[in-house]
Amino acid sequence: MKPLLNKKYYLPVDITPYVGYLFVILSLMTGSLKPVLIQMGLLNKSLSVFSLTVIVAILTALIVILLKKPDFQKKHIDLEVILAGVLLLLNGFFTIIAIKYSSVIMVAAIIATTPLIIGLHQSFIDKKTISVRFVIGFFIAFTGVLLVIRFSGVEQLFMNLTGVFFAFAAVLCSDIYRILLQKLTVKISSSIVSNYVLLVGGVVCFFLMLFNIDVVMAISPSGWIILIVISLCAMFANLFFVKAIKEIGAVYTSTIYITKPAVILFLAMIFLMEKASIIQVAGIFIMMCGVFITEAKTKCPQSRAE
């Protein structure tokens, strides 16, 4: 009699195409949780912008090293890789400051416009004419962002403008980082570049931590839990995103990822009790429509990977 475990079972429906969509949803949820957890971290008295930036970068680098066990080689480390690591670090730093001075919803809406800025920047680099569709989508998206930004009183105006400034600073860092990343992946595989970039950020933050050890020692147990969960969310969001691209391709993955601000809005209302007006909710969806118009392709590939 053959063991039961040796028996093969076959499903009546091929679920392989749906696995990619599951990875997208998992990436979307873990990635959307990160800014919500950052806001929770800022509400924790033992955590600051410095500790959230530095410790998360160190923990993320350690998690990548422990789980992926990458083979680091000295030949892959150059000024461009170091610059990419610093830009990614600044992107996280500016995002945390933006969340501190404004709402998670507002910051999410602004950062979601990053593909538009990259598209605009790339057009100037390649000296290509900007399409009418891109211009229309660009203005629709930023109209949505303006609807999300709200001001009430002089103090709130100053805080929101500070948050908006740092959110756009994060977008600018992300723009330069992604274009630099595109250049690096021509000569080095994307997985190697990603590992090195995280390593650079972790090393820089480790030395920063040594000069501010008192801040680290003051972190409470609940603060450490928040920091570890944020780091895990960042790592798993990237892992699931890469797997989703492999399964269903970058076009479908990126299109679904446009809904990230709406997911963050939903999570912020549940976990942070943030209140959003009807105009802000409408602004989120208008912004997503604008990004979709600029990102949409005339034909979507049928293959599972691009």
Residue range 269-282, pLDDT digits in tens = 888 888 878 888 88
Please, which contacts does 279-285 make with residues 24 or more away whose CB atoms are closer than 8 Å?
A: 279/147, 279/150, 280/105, 280/147, 280/148, 280/150, 282/144, 282/147, 283/109, 283/143, 283/144, 283/145, 283/146, 283/147, 283/148, 284/105, 284/109, 284/144, 284/148, 285/144
| Residue range 61-75, pLDDT digits in tens | 888 777 766 665 655
Residues 6+ apart with CB under 8 A from 247: 16, 17, 19, 20, 23, 304, 305
Residue 3 falls within a domain, yes or no?
A: no
Supply the range of the domain harboring residue 63.
Answer: 18-295
| Residue range 227-244, pLDDT digits in tens | 999 999 988 887 788 777
Is the whole model's pTM more than 0.85, yes or no?
A: no
Residue 9 falls within a domain, yes or no?
A: no
Residue 284 falls within a domain, yes or no?
A: yes
pLDDT value of position 236: 85
Q: How many CA atoms lie within 13 A of 132 on its CB side?
A: 0
pLDDT value of position 300: 40
pLDDT value of position 5: 46
Residue 2 falls within a domain, yes or no?
A: no
**Into how many domains does the chain fold?**
1
For the cut 80, the answer to whether the pLDDT of residue 253 exceeds it is no
| Residue range 198-225, pLDDT digits in tens | 888 888 999 999 988 888 888 999 999 9
Residue 111 falls within a domain, yes or no?
A: yes
Residue 11 falls within a domain, yes or no?
A: no
For the cut 90, the answer to whether the pLDDT of residue 169 exceeds it is yes
Tokens coding 122: 């790339």
Residue 204 one-letter amino acid = V
d(CA 145, CA 139): 10
| 44 or 3: which leads in pLDDT | 44
Residue 162 falls within a domain, yes or no?
A: yes
Residue 104 falls within a domain, yes or no?
A: yes
